Amino acid sequence: MTVRLVKHSASDADVVFAARVSTKGPESLPAGDLGPADLGLIRYLMRDRHGSPFEHATMTLYAEAPIFVIREWQRHRMASYNEESARYRKLKPTFYHPARERDLVQVGKPGAYTFKPGDEDQYDLVSFSTRHTCAVAWGLYETMLKQGVAREVARAVLPVNIYSSMYVTMNARSLMNFLSLRTGEESARFPSHPQREIEMCAEQVERIFADLMPVTYAAFQANGRVAP
């Protein structure tokens, strides 16, 4: 999985001036480094869930992930997406193959289950099945393209573990909502149990967020990872 920052207008100062406009008007624009009162304001906004000031910090990310992860990410409709199109270009033969440390066995019922490692036979089966299916599908895809079949038709044989790419633009409030659902942090007030593959993307998003907005990120952590 690959997630990287493309561009941003995201800083802790963005949250402060957006919040202070209600009492200071145009004088709310920052004049220098944040002071103790500004840091306290961010913590207050997070704690009391005054979320709109966090919407003024935005970032655009580039992500490469299997299609099944892309689709799960796009369920978060509070972001803007533009994705690579298999109608207009031939995809690359890059497929996701679960690593051996990826847990394979689901234990329990939907909504109340955990995962545990598979045994050697199960790992071998997953490895063989994944590689074999991808090789056959890619061969058929290439054959159809060579015979003049349109890309939008030929792509139908490709499995959802083939990689796609997209740009994602979201604000900090939406990003925190995404992280609260797609990371499995035990310290969270409302623990989530995401699929491991999208969590791998979310972990990279979290590192970007923590670097751009350290005060907001610390307040998010202190508030039990509850999005404002």
CA distance 52 to 15: 9
Q: Which phi and psi angles does 206 have, rounded to 5°?
A: -65, -40
Q: Which position has the token pair 């995962």? A: 115
* Rounded CA separation 129/159 (Å): 12
What is the 3-class SS of the chain, one letter each residue?
CEEEEEEEECCHHHHHHHHHHHHHHHHHCCCCCCCHHHHHHHHHHHHCCCCHHHHHCEEEEEEEEEHHHHHHHCCCCCCEEEECCCCCCCCCCCECCCCCCCCCEEEEECCEEEEECCCHHHHHHHHHHHHHHHHHHHHHHHHHHHCCCCHHHHHHHCCCCEEEEEEEEEEHHHHHHHHHHHCCCCCCCCCCCCCHHHHHHHHHHHHHHHHHCHHHHHHHHHCCCCCC
Query: Of the listed 47, 182, 189, 225, which one is catalytic?
Result: 182
- The question of whether 182 is a catalytic residue gets the answer yes
The residues that are catalytic are: 182
